Structure 1
């Protein structure tokens, strides 16, 4: 592992030789900056690893903290060619986070007597989430109730693993989004529409951010008359903008609020492609022509959030939909050559979503270039799911990994026997944690969501530690 390099002090002043803590960071291969503020010594550590975004953080001997605006010596972090490339199998960001946690724990031990009077500190004050059913924490049941439509996920066994009751999540427990919230010490993100239906005051109900994702979200702007079955990303942004005025009254307040918030855009696009295949009976190649428009809409949404003041965003790709039960059922009559012999997944469908994810990452790179002060991370949804499909035993899953835990009475290719999870006659597997897919709609179990969230958290390094009273 190459050694790091010492920067000058804060504000460009030459720093004194670092203390043992600074030497530790240098030895691990990080760039280290040393400086002082209000009479206290601070260190800035930063690194990149191959294929990873730049990771940087501030900490002192008394507290762990990161600043929205980094001193000029640290700005070299933006030019990754100037950063040490850490070749250790452990991601640089993960090492830095671990080091910060260790240092923070050591500092906490020396200041335990003052902990009751100390302010609680978090990286972010709130989470704002957009997406579809993979991120919906309860919007869909609220919308369906307005129209007098029953939603199966409001009935057991949804929510049984973690919450002990249905919560409106399409899962036996927590979603991918719930784990970052827990990791950051924040409440689970409440559904925007459910709170509005209950008449709660928005300023208090969404103090830590709302979730705008509904179950049937699509990317493309279409006919809103099909609401609530199809809700565009643009409509979710309209909900966000309608809420904004109740959260912050001035530009300064909004910039402060959104600057200390983490924005998630989770898995947008799969419903557009699935709907096209179902409604038109078109080919995968015809669907592929839609991808640039879908990516463009996602990109415009990100630009719109940045314009509102978002400075930390996580955007996920799509999962390997060629493996999910409803897609496999839709193409149950496909010839043998259409399937990957190693996994049983549909090759051409997975190639479509690889194409989507590739174009999305290229678009995110352009947005980063246009907004160098914005932290914009890509979260890989595809690879973790494929890893679980290819090696189910490694993750504690049953070998019939493509079968859903709840609803269907047989394998995915027996469509005549499929019963929706939550409906009368639905059967639930004995151990949901041993399954990848929760229901016949392709939603994941809590166990799978946790594996994906762990992968995201290990590769996405939050760089801003905002204060929270």
Structure 2
């Protein structure tokens, strides 16, 4: 016993996360954190770290990968590889293009043709529940196991709004989607609490008006439509801001309802806005708004018809100087910085690696 305590004490100083308290790490979301549930893409996706495409929408690792590594876990296996993996240290249920809301919501509004997958937050949590017996056994054993595990639920919402925007719906109509989207996220978190989760991180929405896809496809000649300091599209960022404000309110409600559960908000929005305002602070000499991998040229190097890994694509000379990878997803370098802000603060409060995760933000 004394020897094991000494080894853990030694490893703590060598790598503080090795002796962290978590049994496992479970993730839910969309393309911002899918590690292979949807096998799309080919090189140059994955070029920086893996040397091959893995299903990740980046040149390398994602935020969830850096979090797993810093907590001492292996990179999370996709939950779709049910027969090939032992999920006792965690699993990833995120799916590229996943919406928060289900098929019926979009079908009723004539938008179902815009859906690539049927992987709502409800379906992802349902898949997790079905997998649980193989991870931890009986319900009470699972509650004990999950009470010492970390859950990251999101980002969710971006695909719900973009599905409608890409079909030409006005942004005031799309804004009416925010309450049901936030309610669905809240319901998903509550279902996980019912299964035994007590430590949950819920990321907000990114400022989509800072991404080349939106800046190119919805360009206007009016300078008032853009932030004077960031260059980001104002009305699209306003949609993200509304989502995040309503999500934080919903999380406050859940905290009051479940005072013994740690529910922390992860702030993608503020971090990426800071990338746009102060790119050099993070080593992003190319700025935040220009695509690294694409074939569009122009201000943002983005063309909807000739995207990353399409014929004739080009990759920037130094990927680490870019925030944006392919027009809507980020580079490994940006994911690394964001993960640091979640693990050590200030973009998750208290930080994931703090000694007081049960505190409320």
- TM-score over 0.5 for the pair: yes
2:59 corresponds in structure 1 to 172
Partners of 1:103 and 1:263 lie apart in 2 by 24
Query: Structure 1 residues 123 and 406 mapped into 2: Cα distance closer, same or farther (>3 Å)?
Result: same
Q: 1:243 aligns with which of 95, 114, 131?
A: 131
1:212 corresponds in structure 2 to 93
How far is the alpha carbon of 1:414 from its aligned partner?
7.3
TM (normalized to structure 1)?
0.67
Partners of 2:139 and 2:38 lie apart in 1 by 32
1:34 corresponds in structure 2 to none
Q: 2:321 aligns with which of 412, 428, 434?
A: 434
Instruction: Give the unaligned 5+ runs of structure 2.
Output: 346-350
Q: 2:280 aligns with which of 393, 397, 403?
A: 393
2:187 corresponds in structure 1 to 300
Contact 1:332 1:413 in 2 (8 A): no
How far is the alpha carbon of 1:132 from its aligned partner?
0.5
How far is the alpha carbon of 1:432 from its aligned partner?
0.6
Whether 2:69 is the aligned partner of 1:182: answer yes
User: Which secondary structure state, in structure 2, belongs to the residue aligned with residue 292 of structure 1?
Assistant: helix
Query: Structure 1 residues 377 and 342 mapped into 2: Cα distance closer, same or farther (>3 Å)?
Result: same
Task: Report Cα offsets for 1:111-159 as digits up to 9, x if no partner.
Answer: xxxxxxxxx7332121110000000001111xxxxxxxxx3x2x11111
Partners of 1:323 and 1:210 lie apart in 2 by 30
Q: List structure 1 runs of 4+ shifted beyond 6 angstroms.
A: 224-227
Instruction: Give the unaligned 5+ runs of structure 1.
Output: 1-39, 41-61, 66-100, 109-119, 142-150
Partners of 1:287 and 1:190 lie apart in 2 by 34
TM (normalized to structure 2)?
0.87
How far is the alpha carbon of 1:184 from its aligned partner?
0.7
Q: 2:144 aligns with which of 245, 249, 256?
A: 256
Contact 1:260 1:464 in 2 (8 A): no
Contact 2:291 2:300 in 1 (8 A): no
Q: 2:13 aligns with which of 101, 105, 117?
A: 105
Higher gyration radius (CA): 1
Partners of 1:447 and 1:456 lie apart in 2 by 15
Q: Structure 1 stretch 283-292 or stretch 212-221: which is displaced more?
A: 283-292
How far is the alpha carbon of 1:453 from its aligned partner?
0.7
How many residues were matched structurally?
A: 340
Contact 2:292 2:301 in 1 (8 A): no
Partners of 1:158 and 1:429 lie apart in 2 by 13
Contact 2:212 2:302 in 1 (8 A): no
Please list, as runs of the form range in 1=range in 2, the aligned pairs for 1:379-390 lying within 5 A after superposition. Answer: 379-390=266-277
Contact 1:124 1:464 in 2 (8 A): no
Give the aligned CA root-mean-square deviation in angstroms.
Answer: 2.7
How far is the alpha carbon of 1:252 from its aligned partner?
2.2
Whether 2:32 is the aligned partner of 1:134: answer yes
Structure with the higher fraction of residues in strand conformation: 1
How far is the alpha carbon of 1:326 from its aligned partner?
1.2
